[in-house]
Structure 1
Amino acid sequence: MIFPQAVTIAGSDSGGGAGIQADIKTFQERRVFGMSAITAITAQNTLGVHAIHPIPVNILASQLEALNDDFSITAVKTGMLVDEATIDTVVSRLRRFNWGPLIVDPVMIAKGGAPLVNDDAIKSIRQNLLPLASIVTPNIPEAETLAGMRIRSIEQIEKAAKQIQKLGVETVIIKGGHSEDKQESRDYVLDGNVAFWLGAKRIDTEHTHGTGCTFSACITAELAKGATTEYAVRTAKEFITRAISEPIYIGHGHGPTNHWAHRKENT
């Protein structure tokens, strides 16, 4: 038996709540061995992103090549990809590697509002990365950028998902955390020709740092184990809802989610 193995290609969050740190924690909680290729080092905490240092693309390429040479990878996700050169490096390798489903978390803006990618990178995500992806998981502002339209209603969410799907990705999940609904956070899932909504009671908390990373990482872990897309998405929704609802109160700003909150179900 080959133990499930997954890779995150993303930035490092020195505060430990997002980026590859959140991804690896999530992989571990879902009983998947996690690996990483770091795209950037950030000086970051719960109060914001203070500095970003992109990793040279030759070092990023070496990380990816080393992983491919030794491991049996069955799913991969991307997070912050910084710039066009980074995306091109990732795309060129993923086209050659047989790493299973690709989940794209189109990280563009930090929780505090700081931009994490430039305009050329956004263009490359749309044109080069998404055609390789099985799933993309934008929040509403990211979906607006990818679809090239404003989103203010349920109908516009559904239209935006179809627009993003036309870029070549099979499944589009537009997350509802940024919606104006005060009672519920509803995610819209367009999986091929099948569409459905996933809802959860909205939780009044500032401790949401790394939610997008954690959600997409959980999907990646489940797919690495061979789950269907719908099962993986529903599991991830339950996992992140539990992680938000039982915060651990770390830091003085937007604190991290609780990656081990789900363990109570098994005790």
Structure 2
Amino acid sequence: MTDVPLLPTAAPGSTPVRVLTIAGSDSGGGAGIQADLRTFALLGLHGCVAVTAVTVQNSLGVSGFQEITPDVVAAQIDSVVSDIGVGATKSGMLASAPIIAAVADACADVGIGRDGATPFVLDPVCASMHGDPLLAGEALEELRATLFPLATIVTPNLDEVRLITGIEVVDESTQRDAARALHDLGPQWALVKGGHLRSSDQSPDLLFDGAEFHEFTHARIDTGHDHGAGDTLAAATASALAHGRSVPEAVAFAKRWVTRGLEAAYPLGAGHGPVNPLWRVRITPEAPAR
């Protein structure tokens, strides 16, 4: 079982560290803002949201989604940051080029991103784990052009790496090539996650700042229930950054957190169940069925 040193928590009655997720809603509760808020709460942070889309989704896949208008997405970001304030921000599903542009402008205006005071974790969600499209094809260039240069760290999985850079990661060498290509798009740090490298018995994640590589590896967890793993890792990274951890420290923490969630993953519905940050909750005997 993976040991996870937890983040500091606020005393009862005092204001906890705040963090913002800019992402879509998952009606099945396994990924998206639901996974983000679960992670924030269980790590002792207060989570705020800017909802970008509402998906029609269950354990079998995404059957549709409705975008939120870009001006409303931007207004949510401004409303939260101007009043509540946040120590870090992460993004997930952004759905369209106009929403991406609105998010980039809103974040820059309130000091979110690599040139501002607030770290920005960009999880460049392009498709669901089932292969369902979550980002229109014409939006990829907008993502590269406006949000990558704003990001403190980008955290794509291997399918997203291929869509964004054209590089098929099959081994350590191509994973390094992908990290360099992602960094060339402008983020301060690039993390190439190895969870989809199914040919390996390890799950190797590679972090690059343009000069130095950092490797984070754990034995692959044998589970078919990994829905929301990418969201959870990005949310945990943002949580650690909000507490002032360095990027390598935040990624190391998040890697351990999501690995523990995979170890505790549970079945749900007829398809893929979610990673389970609820292991953090004290286990008590199950209540009798009513």
> Equivalences for 1:155-170 in 2 at 5 Å?
155-170=173-188
**Structure 1 position 107, deviation (Å):** 0.5
Q: 1:225 to 1:248 in 2, by over 3 A?
A: same
Q: Is the Cα contact below 8 Å between 2:52 and 2:93 reproduced in 1?
A: yes
Counterpart CA distance in 1 for 2:176 and 2:272 is: 29
Whole-angstrom distance in 2 between the partners of 1:176 and 1:11: 24
- Deviation digits for residues 91-148 of structure 1, max 9, x if unmatched? 1111111240110001011111111111221111111100000000011111122223
Out of 184, 190, 194, the residue aligned to residue 202 of structure 2 is: 184
Letter in 2 for 1:226: G
Q: Which has the higher helix share?
A: 1
Secondary structure of 1:8 counterpart: strand
1:28-47 to structure 2, matched below 5 A, reads 28-47=41-60
Instruction: Measure the CA separation in 2 of the matches of 1:7 and 1:192.
Output: 27
Larger deviation: 171-180 or 62-71?
62-71
Residues 2 and 191 (structure 1), Cα distance of their counterparts in 2 relative to 1, 3 Å cut:
farther
- What code does the residue aligned with 1:191 have? D
CA contact (8 A) 2:214 2:248 kept: no
Matched, 1:205 2:230: no
Aligned residue in 1 for 2:21? 8
| SS of 1:260 mapped into structure 2 | helix
1:148 lines up with 2:166 in the alignment: yes
The structure that has the greater radius of gyration is 2
Spell out, residue by residue over 1:13-71, the C-alpha distance to the aligned partner (whole angstroms, 9 max, x if none): 01111000000110111111100000000011111001110011222122122112211
* Structure 1, unaligned runs of 5 or more: none
Displacement of 1:192 in angstroms is 4.1
Residue in structure 2 matching 1:55, options 53, 68, 71 = 68
State TM-score, norm by structure 2. 0.88
CA–CA distance in 2 between the matches of 1:160 and 1:249?
Answer: 33
Tell me how far 1:264 sits from its aligned partner.
Answer: 6.4
User: For 1:40 and 1:84, how far apart are their aligned partners in 2?
Assistant: 13
8 Å CA contact 1:239, 1:262 repeated in 2: no
Residue 257 of structure 1 aligns with an amino acid whose one-letter code is V
For these two proteins, the number of residue pairs brought into alignment is 265
Range moving further from structure 2, 144-153 or 65-74: 144-153
- For residues 102-181 of structure 1, the aligned pairs below 5 Å read 102-181=120-199
Note if contact 1:40-1:82 (Cα within 8 Å) is conserved in structure 2: yes
**TM value normalised by structure 1:** 0.95
**Native 8 Å contact 1:30 1:222 kept in 2:** no
Q: Which runs of 5+ in 2 are unaligned?
A: 1-13, 113-117, 284-290
Deviation at 1:203, TM superposition (A): 1.6
2:36 counterpart (11, 16, 23) = 23
